[in-house]
Amino acid sequence: MRATAAALVALALVAAGCGSSSAKQQGRILVVVDAPFSQSPYIGNTIANGARLAADQLTARGITTGGTTYKVRVLRLDNALSPSRAVANVRRALREHATAILTDGTGVDATWRLAEKQNVPIGITYQGGGALVNPETRPNVFRIAPTDHGLAFRLAEYLVPKGLKIGLLTDDSDYGQEGRAALDDAFRTLPKAVAVRITLPSSAGDLAPQALEARRSGATALLVWARPAVLAKTIAAARSAGWRVPVYTTPAGEDPVVRQQLADHPSWVDGLTFASGRMTAELGPAPWSTFEAAYEAAFGATSVGVKSLGRRVIAPPDYAMYSYDFVNVLAAAVQSAAGTDAAKVLAALNQVSTRGANGDERGFNERNHEGVVDDDVYFARFRDMIFRPVGDDPLSSTLPVISQVR
């Protein structure tokens, strides 16, 4: 009986060994999304869903390299717009052996060193601050999103010829202060175009004093670089005082929060113009349409919570495109590196490229870790709660109108 039992144990061990050998042929690419899910759910969910769509498609298609087939997994961690929370999340990501970390940009000044020690790349897919990305001093930080430099200079290029006296309003968040630096640079040689510079307190319930200061300065246009809730309060302060001054802004303008907070006064949104990265490229709208259809099939359309002429308004997944593209570039780097060795994957990110969701080429090199060129910034204007490319800008006027009602 003892011999029989020993034989059974031996057979079990052999079987377990075979199973272990088979398991070694399965690998994992872990993408940790560190984003503000609780404080800016639109931004957080957009980044995470874009990453998840790419992960699911890649896993279904199969990533096999170096004799191993990899599945792509996405882990969501909430940074709540807190740099200290972002640090804690990155520490956890490193303990989980993340292949890469995707972020809106919160806390990158503190987290990049932690990730660099383990050769883990960080991909920024929202904030465009110039100091966040530097291939020489921060070799593990990459970005696929419009840069603040590109947004600011395109806004200056668009507004100054109109002869406007511009009030530059930036909030006191990291986002606003990075924007302030970019605007100061863009308008450095154009001081006569600036009527006033005002800092908007993010915690204030009413921004009427700041709106009044801007009005008294003689401003004939406002350029607001602030988080969505602050932008909405700025518009409300101006419009409730009867000031119909044109308002220009950054991609924050398309965040559903702006329209939700102004839903009782839909006409206040009319004319709001924002700068952002274009959704369609030279190849035309077909690649974008394919991506958008796949996104909505996976997650449903993102409802803004308002209506346009009686129809439900949805938010196009334009920023989801950037996280989607980054995960695809990461997968190409894993294949080039023949595995998930961190140092090899990081090096490969400087060598590979893929076709992006809108048809553009996405990739990086040793001297440039920016995945969106400044020339790709376009302008869109709201009417009836949906936006359309403007007609008085050479690039924007060539772009198709993306459907935003269902």
pLDDT digits (tens, 9 = 90+) for 257-280: 999 999 999 999 999 999 999 999
Q: Confirm if 178 and 148 have CB atoms less than 8 A apart.
A: yes
- What would the CATH number be for the domain defined by 148-316+376-398? 3.40.50.2300
pLDDT at 2 over 80: no
- pLDDT band at residue 24 under the 50/70/90 scheme: low
Whole-angstrom Cα distance, residue 364 to residue 353?
Answer: 7
pLDDT of residue 15: 42
pLDDT at 215 over 80: yes
pLDDT mean across residues, the chain? 94
Q: Confirm if 209 and 219 have CB atoms less than 8 A apart.
A: no
pLDDT at 17 over 70: no
pLDDT of residue 133: 98
pLDDT at 11 over 80: no
The full 3-state SS of the chain, as one line of letters, equals CHHHHHHHHHHHHHHHHHHHHHHCCEEEEEEEEEECCCCCHHHHHHHHHHHHHHHHHHHHHCEEECCEEEEEEEEEEECCCCHHHHHHHHHHHHHCCCCEEEECCCCHHHHHHHHHHCCCCEEECCCCCHHHCCCCCCCCEEECCCCHHHHHHHHHHHHHHHCCCEEEEEECCHHHHHHHHHHHHHCCCCHHHEEEEEEECCCCCCCHHHHHHHHHCCCCEEEEECCHHHHHHHHHHHHHCCCCCCEEECHHHHCHHHHHHCCCCHHHCCCCEEEEECCCECCECHHHHHHHHHHHHHHCCEEEEEEECCEEEEECCHHHHHHHHHHHHHHHHHHHHCCCCHHHHHHHCCCCEEECCCCCEEECECCECECCCHHHEEEEEEECCEEEECCCCCCHHHCCCCCCEC
pLDDT digits (tens, 9 = 90+) for 227-249: 999 999 999 999 999 999 999 99
pLDDT at 9 over 90: no
Tell me the CATH number of domain 26-147+319-374, given options 3.40.395.10, 3.90.580.10, 3.40.50.2300, 3.40.50.1820.
3.40.50.2300
pLDDT of residue 1: 40
All structural domains of the chain with their residue ranges: 26-147+319-374, 148-316+376-398
pLDDT digits (tens, 9 = 90+) for 165-177: 999 999 999 999 9
Instruction: Give the residues across from 383 on adjacent strands.
Output: 386
pLDDT digits (tens, 9 = 90+) for 140-163: 999 999 999 999 999 999 999 999
Does this model's pTM top 0.75? My answer is yes
Q: Confirm if 166 and 245 have CB atoms less than 8 A apart.
A: no
pLDDT digits (tens, 9 = 90+) for 300-358: 999 999 999 999 999 999 999 999 999 999 999 999 999 999 999 999 999 999 999 99
